[in-house]
């Protein structure tokens, strides 16, 4: 939690430096992505900068190399960041087919069910 | 007790199968082929829990982007979760130069992409609704006459499985799919809003000059296919401005304002372009109605201050 708070502080500092960093010809046009998410209030849009750091930290907690984690968070859209920041633990993480252990268990259950074995002791 | 529970579970699963009406139940247009198989979609047998990286490598490879699952795993795998999140498959595909499009959540929309030559990455739940086992597979073909789907899944290449079984696994995973679209191409299904978002996300997140021209071509194609959508023109305006073509940008923003007179983003960008070209009075005229806009008011005000800070703007009365 402490580290999250520190990252928020750094992100806030970053906000003050932002006008310097994004000074180029394109910066003053509203991008198409921004226009599509205008329903978010301005306050939520400021949050984007904090979200990115929060998500990076969560990725690190889930075992990602810290250097890669910030790049992975940087590659996400505001919508993806918001989703991960809010409920990364509930989101499906596609992994794999039923492992051997599971299949063995199923076979035992079926054998028990049709009366070949009696493992569950009735 | 356990026996009774298991029997009940078995009966429930059987009845779920029985209620399915067969492959004829999908909404499939007459003029579409009932059999379609994508040849030579690269296959990478999954190792450990790396179905995400393997599926992504397949779809990328088919789109002409070489990537190995082991290398992709560094970018999409979560060791503590032993799996891959959808968001990271999406962001990583964009980073590799492809637009991530989600077909509408229906079987026919996914199969239409396959017919258009794009394998679809799908999320499946191979467990139960309350005890999910999440898995990614790549759909590479189908045969509606036989009622089967063909996919690369796990360690199996071009494996065939009954559509009804797959549809259940897919439904239990929220009917999520994604296809990778090369810049300049358009999706098969007619869903402008999802496509415009996909393209805008690619434009912003892939952030590379290498793709700027192709993104611009994509927006041009988008306005041709969906000329009634204000956001098609808004997107074209931005990509034209990024290409340095301010005349086209202005015309595109005007077109979107013509279609939707209240389109605040178009008005705002037109004002910015006017200010950029030194036409301060025109910029002020455009920005005035936006000052009370809930979302763009503060930006509009900033532009106004900026215009007045240059010099005292003295505009003729309209």
Q: Which two tokens stand for residue B31?
A: 């003029």
Q: Per CATH, which fold does B33-181 belong to?
A: Cathepsin B; Chain A (3.90.70)
Min distance A45 CA to chain B CA atoms (Å): 11
A31 falls in which pLDDT band (50, 70, 90)?
A: very high
pLDDT digit string (tens) for B80-129?
Answer: 999 999 999 999 999 999 999 999 999 999 999 999 999 999 999 998 88
Cα R_g (chain A), whole angstroms: 23
Q: Which residues of chain A neighbour B307 with C-beta distances below 8 Å?
A: none
Low-confidence stretches of chain B (pLDDT < 50) are 11-21, 23-24
Phi, psi of A32 (to 5 degrees): -65, -40
Are B82 and A95 an interchain contact pair (Cβ–Cβ within 8 Å)? yes
Q: Which two tokens stand for residue B155?
A: 């360690």
Residues of chain B with CATH 1.25.40.10: 192-310
Task: Assess contact for B179 and B202: CB atoms under 8 A.
Answer: no
Q: Span A83-110, mean pLDDT?
A: 75
> Which position has the higher pLDDT, A17 or B2?
B2
pLDDT, position A16: 47
Q: Which residues of chain B neighbour A80 with C-beta distances below 8 Å?
A: 87, 90-91
Q: Which of A42, A72, A97 sits opposite B88 (nearest CB)?
A: A72
Nearest residue of A to residue B174, measured between CA atoms: A92
Question: Smallest Cα–Cα separation from B247: which of B217, B225, B277?
Answer: B277
Per DSSP, the residues of B34-60 read SEEE-TT-------TTTHHHHHHHHHH
Q: Which residues of chain B neighbour A29 with C-beta distances below 8 Å?
A: 238, 241, 269, 272-273
Given a cut of 80, is residue A107 above it in pLDDT?
no
User: Cα–Cα distance between A47 and A28 in angstroms, integer?
Assistant: 20
Per-residue exposure over B89-115, b if at least 16 CB sit within 10 Å of its own CB, e if not: bbbbbbbbbbbbbbbeeebebbbbbbe
Q: Which residues pair with B100 in a beta bridge?
A: B180
CATH of B192-310, one of 3.30.2130.10, 1.25.40.10, 3.20.20.60, 1.10.10.60: 1.25.40.10
Going edge to edge, which strands form the sheet with B77-78?
A93-94, B83-85, B77-78
Q: Which residues of chain B neighbour A97 with C-beta distances below 8 Å?
A: 51, 126, 133, 135, 153-154
Phi, psi of A98 (to 5 degrees): -55, 130
Partner A contacted by B265 (CB < 8 A): yes
Are B51 and A29 an interchain contact pair (Cβ–Cβ within 8 Å)? no
**Out of A93-97, A115-119, B10-14, B262-266, least confident range:** B10-14
Three-state DSSP class for residue B83: strand
Question: Smallest Cα–Cα separation from B87: which of A33, A83, A57?
Answer: A83
Three-state DSSP class for residue B64: coil
Q: Which two tokens stand for residue B243?
A: 């290409």
A38 falls in which pLDDT band (50, 70, 90)?
A: confident
Q: Which two tokens stand for residue B315?
A: 């505009």
Per DSSP, the residues of B232-251 read HHHHHHHHHHHTT-HHHHHH
Nearest residue of A to residue B6, measured between CA atoms: A113
Residues of chain B with CATH 3.90.70.10: 33-181
Q: Which of residues 55-84 of A touch B (CB under 8 A)?
A: 59, 61-65, 68, 72, 75-77, 79-80, 83-84
């Amino acid at each position: 939690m402490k580290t999250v708070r520190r990252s928020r502080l750094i992100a806030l500092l970053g906000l003050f430096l932002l006008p310097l960093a994004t000074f180029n010809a394109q910066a003053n046009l509203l991008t198409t992505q921004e226009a599509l998410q205008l329903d978010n209030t301005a306050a939520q849009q400021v949050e984007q900068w904090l979200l990115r750091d929060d998500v990076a930290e969560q990725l690190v907690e889930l075992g990602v190399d810290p250097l890669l984690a910030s790049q992975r968070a940087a590659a996400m859209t505001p919508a993806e960041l918001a989703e991960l920041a809010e409920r990364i633990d509930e989101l499906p993480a596609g992994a794999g087919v039923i492992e051997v252990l599971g299949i063995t268990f199923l076979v035992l259950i079926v054998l028990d069910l049709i009366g070949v074995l009696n493992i569950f002791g009735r | 007790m356990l026996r009774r529970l298991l029997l009940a579970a078995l009966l429930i699963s059987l009845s779920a199968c029985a209620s399915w009406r067969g492959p004829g139940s999908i909404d499939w247009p007459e003029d579409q082929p009932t059999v379609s198989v994508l040849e030579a979609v690269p296959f990478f047998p999954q190792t450990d829990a790396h179905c995400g990286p393997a599926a992504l490598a397949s779809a990328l490879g088919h789109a002409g982007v070489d990537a190995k699952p082991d290398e992709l795993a560094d970018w999409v795998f979560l060791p503590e979760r032993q799996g891959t999140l959808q968001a990271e498959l999406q962001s990583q595909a964009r980073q590799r130069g492809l637009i991530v499009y989600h077909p509408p959540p229906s079987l026919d929309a996914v199969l239409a992409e396959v017919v258009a030559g794009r394998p679809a990455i799908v999320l499946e739940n191979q467990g139960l609704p309350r005890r999910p086992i999440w898995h990614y597979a790549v759909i590479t073909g189908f045969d509606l006459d036989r009622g089967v789907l063909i996919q690369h899944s796990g360690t199996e290449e071009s494996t065939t499985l009954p559509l009804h079984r797959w549809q259940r696994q897919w439904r239990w995973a929220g009917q999520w799919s994604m296809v990778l679209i090369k810049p300049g191409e358009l999706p098969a299904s007619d869903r402008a809003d999802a496509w415009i978002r996909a393209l805008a996300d690619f434009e912003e997140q892939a952030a590379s000059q290498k793709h700027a021209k192709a993104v611009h071509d994509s927006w041009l194609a988008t306005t041709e296919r969906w000329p009634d959508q204000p956001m098609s023109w808004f997107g074209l305006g931005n990509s034209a401005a990024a290409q340095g073509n301010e005349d086209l940008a202005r015309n595109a923003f005007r077109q979107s304002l013509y279609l939707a007179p209240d389109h605040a983003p178009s008005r705002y960008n037109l004002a910015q372009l006017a200010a950029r070209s030194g036409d301060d009075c025109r910029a002020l005229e455009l920005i005035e109605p936006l000052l009370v806009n809930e979302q763009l008011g503060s930006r509009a005000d900033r532009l106004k201050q900026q215009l007045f800070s240059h010099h005292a703007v003295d505009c003729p009365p309209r």
